[in-house]
Amino acid sequence: MKKSGKHFLLSSIAALATSISVAQVQWQKEYIYSNYAVNNTAETAKTTIETSDGGYLIGGIAEKSPRVAYMAKVAANGDSLWVRYYDANYGGFSGLSKLYRDNNNELFGVFESLYGRLAFVKLNETNGDTISKFYGPMGPASNYIYLAHTQLANGDYVLSYTQSTASIVKRFTPGNLNAVWTHDYAGEVIAVTSMIQDGSDLVMAGYVGAPNWEYDLAVTKLAASDGTVHWTKKYRRYALWKDQKVGLVKNSAGDYLVAASSQQNNKLYPSVLKVASNNGDSLSISMLTTHNGNPLNLGFCDNLVPFANGFVAAGEIDQNFNDATNTPQNCGQMALFCISDNGQILNAYAMNQIGPYYNGSIYTGSHCWGLSCIATSDNKVLVTGKGNYNAESNGWNAAFGDAYLVKIAPETLGLNEHSELAGLTAWPNPSNGTVQISASEIIEKVIVYNQLGAKVLELNASDKTVTIDLSAMPGVYFYQVYGNQASGTGKLIIH
């Protein structure tokens, strides 16, 4: 493994002041899936996926003594329809970390097991029934906070989890508990929270230990075939505490955008770092230091997904001003960030149901856990996390919370800096798989993403019409088309 302790200088730094808009919130809903009294709950919505009928499935952890995994169905307007718990009768799962559709468009959940293995469970999305399951290679007996995985084109999985102070990465074939290859990044990378495939390679983002209980950002690029590490780079003080995820995407220029937080003047701010794909060198960083005219105390952004001609990310901002009450108090709020294709934070939205809460003497912030976001088929964004509530017994808001969803229509300020590609059409749509994408000018590139934001297809072109074939992958997709001076986006439905 190639080691690098060098802290790279950034070629450009942008500290941005952004605006807030709350009018775009479509709805926000709280879901209580626990048997416990309100002061003792610690349930979380950790994952979301859109269903073919326009509704959503969410999953996470519920407090039912002991903790159990759950999956729930909500309607397009956020109303709760049903919930299914996966307790001892369903294998004793303690949490649902991720919902996704595999290469065959079948619904799976990554479940945390009490017995040291992650279970990949095929699910019926109409009622939550378990259809079948297989286990990954042996991992730690508990605590899957640091978990990332991706499925390769041939059906194999690459899984990363944290054990003690090292990140373990394994490639394995479904149903076979013996890993094809394994790497232990002891002393180098302690947490991988995001993983994407880039051609024949894998790129992983996470963080490493650093002095004073802070963490440095780390990005690793390795071969998917055998795990050979091409490079690992560390970036000083570009991560937050251990419960924060690190977002990772590839932009249209082929560079990687990494969403986390950055240190400046002894504070940590939401940030997006752009790094070169060939060697990991840092190219630029965008930091959010103020919001709505007020300075931030701390914050982060993660879970990057494509949206418009750029990306959005879920995260948190914490400042000495509460947008909801117009009073000066420390308030941690769930946030959504709009990010350009070049990695600049362009806009931020605070969702005020997160905090403040009263701890008996002062108002303080409630940090947001389990955050993720998806781009929906109606061009909105759904943010998943945890909210707070009032405890009736003593009149103060608990530090714990219930599952929370917020649907928001963010302004795409700056995300459409290129003019719209004239005459952009996709036909037929819906389709059985083969689609012709046309425009009035030359198309140079087409990129197709699935609903989780993973890139499934990229084509370079030099024509006004490009044919793509998704017949082997039924589902809902989003596409980005780039011309010389313009670009455009759209949605594809493949039956």
List, for residues 130-152, the tens digit of each pLDDT value.
999 888 776 654 454 567 888 88
At 43 the pLDDT is: 67
DSSP-derived secondary structure for 61-84: EEESSSEEEEEEEE-TTS-EEEEE
> What backbone phi and psi angles, to 5 degrees, belong to 83?
-140, 140
At 326 the pLDDT is: 55
What is the per-residue pLDDT across 230-282, written as a single tens digit (0 to 9) for each?
998 988 766 555 557 789 999 988 999 999 888 777 778 888 999 999 999 98
Cα gap 111→101, rounded to integer Å: 14
How would residue 364 be classed by pLDDT, with cut points 50, 70 and 90?
Answer: very low
At 127 the pLDDT is: 93
Cα gap 265→257, rounded to integer Å: 23
What is the per-residue pLDDT across 288-313, written as a single tens digit (0 to 9) for each?
887 777 778 778 888 899 988 789 99
Mean pLDDT of the chain: 76
For residue 347, give the amino acid letter: N
Cα gap 476→98, rounded to integer Å: 18
Contact 431, 494 (CB under 8 A): yes
37-51, 420-434, 441-455, 472-486, range with the lowest pLDDT: 37-51
Question: Which domains does the chain carry?
Answer: 13-408 (2.130.10.10), 419-494 (2.60.40.10)
Look-up of token digits 């894998």: 202
* C-alpha angle 210-240-368 in degrees, rounded to nearest 5: 150
Cα gap 173→71, rounded to integer Å: 26
What is the per-residue pLDDT across 430-440, written as a single tens digit (0 to 9) for each?
888 899 999 88
| Residue 21 CB coordination number (10 Å) | 16
CB-side neighbour CA atoms (13 Å) of 232: 20
Cα gap 261→268, rounded to integer Å: 6
Name the residue among 359, 367, 413, 358 with its Cα closest to residue 387: 367
Cα gap 418→431, rounded to integer Å: 28
Predicted TM-score (pTM) of this structure: 0.77
Helix, strand, coil % in the chain, rounded to nearest 5: 0, 60, 40
DSSP-derived secondary structure for 292-321: TTEEEEEEEEEEEEEETTEEEEEEEEEESS
Cα gap 371→157, rounded to integer Å: 23
At 422 the pLDDT is: 80
In terms of pLDDT, which residue wins out, 494 or 113? 494
At 210 the pLDDT is: 57
417 has pLDDT over 60: no
Contact 68, 59 (CB under 8 A): no
What is the per-residue pLDDT across 20-60, written as a single tens digit (0 to 9) for each?
333 377 888 878 787 654 444 556 788 899 998 889 999 98
| Residue 123 CB coordination number (10 Å) | 24
At 99 the pLDDT is: 92
Cα gap 162→168, rounded to integer Å: 6
What is the per-residue pLDDT across 367-413, written as a single tens digit (0 to 9) for each?
455 678 899 888 889 988 776 544 434 444 444 567 788 888 876 65
173 CB-contact burial (10 Å; exposed 0-12 / middle 13-18 / buried 19+): middle
At 240 the pLDDT is: 59
Q: Which pair of structure tokens corresponds to residue 235?
A: 């970036």
87 has pLDDT over 50: yes
Strands 215-223 vs 201-209: parallel, antiparallel or unpaired: antiparallel
For residue 341, give the amino acid letter: D
At 276 the pLDDT is: 94
Number of H helices, E strands in the chain: 0, 37
DSSP-derived secondary structure for 427-461: ESSSBSSEEEEEEEEEEEEEEEEETTS-EEEEEEE
At 15 the pLDDT is: 35
Look-up of token digits 């230990």: 209
